[in-house]
Structure 1
Amino acid sequence: MYDAPWHVPSALFDPGWVDRMRDSTAVSEFSPEAAIITAVFFGVFVVLVATAFLVKSRGAGEVRLTPLTWITDTAKIREIFLNALRRRSKIRLTFSREDATGVFTDAALSEVYSDSLTLELSATVQANRGWIGKRVECDFRLRLDPAAEQWNFYTFVAGITDARVVPGQFAQVTISLPSRLEMEQKRAFLRVEPGRADVRELDIWPETHVRDEPHRPDDPETWGHPDLTLTETTAPDIALDNVSGGGLRLSLRGDALRTGLTLLTPGRRVYLFLRLADRQAAGESILFRLACQVMNAYAADAPDGSRAFGLRFVGFGEPAADNPARLGWKALQGGGVPAVDDWAYAKHLDMYRARGK
């Protein structure tokens, strides 16, 4: 009936193919049209079943895959908040970014219930009933062992269920107990871009210089003149591009770049003095003594010929308890320098509030 196999597909569109297929079936005669339809039907069925199993298995896998940094057990979450309450941990609170209000504040944890938390804010905060139903992003740090320097950092998102103000005392906000806490070393990742007015001074010395006699790491007065310095007069050649609790990025050009190519070789360690504008007190500064490792020297692709250098903090100096004129050097806590992290976060909130206005 058919001279060649390639005639079979076109035969399916022949007006009489249905009758021929029925007749062939009735006399138990092989029908190419019926064979093709049967094969297509079962082929589509197999593909649909396989796809369904694949989608189901992927969905089940996604449900089971919980990041190791998430805490989802309600009892454990409540235990952490009770510990934070005992340690008087401060909670930093901002509205979620989909809200354009730009409101932010620090809060003190005052009560922990089975399904909610009560936070106390300064009475100067204009809390109101309009906050109810909004979501807030919060983070706090907790030192589980008071004798250790190790901090744990947590972030979570929760909804506001109540807000009220006690006249002359405080604002009180109730939020739902979060369904999960995320352990996040926020200080190492929250980078902000400081304005030129924020950076009062930045000096850099090679580690070999600071550690060679007669210089001493615990006495900055012995360090002498820095190899690189950023002041009002050197601002065109040196710029602090961004900073976080974990490190910073510098851009250099001109004479500063010629010095920096040797000083800031990747892998090399340097000491850094940084003086930033105090965000809480106009005209005041906050001082930082930092030990750094140069991580990156970026390619010179800027139009002005400048090059960027990435530095990671590996330690920080604070006045020694027994002699404030000397420095005591400490390792990083939770991936960053707490005081630099606090400054960066305050700057971040300033910019967040400005965008919301």
Structure 2
Amino acid sequence: MHRPEESDPDYQQFYFLMNAPALYNAAATAAELHLFQFLSEHPGSEFEEIHKFTELPSHQLRVLLHGVCAVGRLKRVDGGYHNSRVAADLLASDSPDSWAHTLIGWKEIYYPAFVHLTEALKADTNTALAAHPGDEPTLHKRLTRNPELEGLFHRAMASFTLASIDDLVDREEFSGVTRLLDIGGGDGTTTVRLLERYPQLSSTIFDQPSLCRIAGTTDAGNFPDRIELHVGEFFDDPFPAGADAVLFSHVLGIFSEEQILTLLKKAYDVLPEGAGYASTTTTSRTTRRRAYSEPGSACTSTPSPAAREWHIPPGTTRHGCAKPVSPTSRPFRNSPSSTGSTSEPNSAQRTSMSR
């Protein structure tokens, strides 16, 4: 009798989903063991050679190799193992942009949190934080108690950023910026790439104390005259003044609508007339960015500085500029405490803005 799951892609996807945790962790473990790097240097290695390199028990290694082959990251040809094209491209080095760092970061930090998802949704709070010592309200702050895990987390974030940063760096608007404020700039990965590209640019990285210390030990240290590290908390401390552009790179997406508007208002308050901000989020290797705002463009505030309104008309896309609208269109204000708006923008309507 014909079984629909044998040919139905929906069934096949479901069965893959059921095995995904095991397959993901097999690939992440191979990355931790530097197996992809080994096979890059020794392609076609047979089982005994890999056994000698990893020093794993034979049965456990056989299971691991079977899993990594099943997920398509390794292939076995005539008894020898080879990296897949994707593994060779993304996982076979220890460079800062290797996705191996992201795989390991997810395995050690994010995957353990997923078991709390149902509980967290019901409680409307991050119950997974209990796994990390401390009473700080965010993961970033609690990780400061564990420097080894914090370093792993930021290597993963740097890898994730570097895999998608070219699209941001290529934005021609940065050629007109002289002083950037990089909110949540972390170890300086994004700032460094921008400074390498734009010689007129200097940057202030605004982040919590431990991350500013980390930035001082990375490539950010190669630009002592062009990078300033400013310690502070996003919501508790004022943003430093003096910048003519503000960057939120992989920052806003983790916050609520109200918190996002609070941060955008703080950015607005420290920017001079005609300045703008850019915000990026990332899916896979493609940077999904809200358009950078310029003076005189469609993404401008209303003429009255006191009003500080941006009009988000129906149909505005997540990554596009707000278009000029008639006075009858419904606005939302950039301050959460403002009144006069009948609806908050949803995630598909957020856009960039200029002063």
Q: Which has the higher helix share?
A: 2
TM-score normalized by the length of structure 2: 0.25
* Bigger radius of gyration among the two: 1
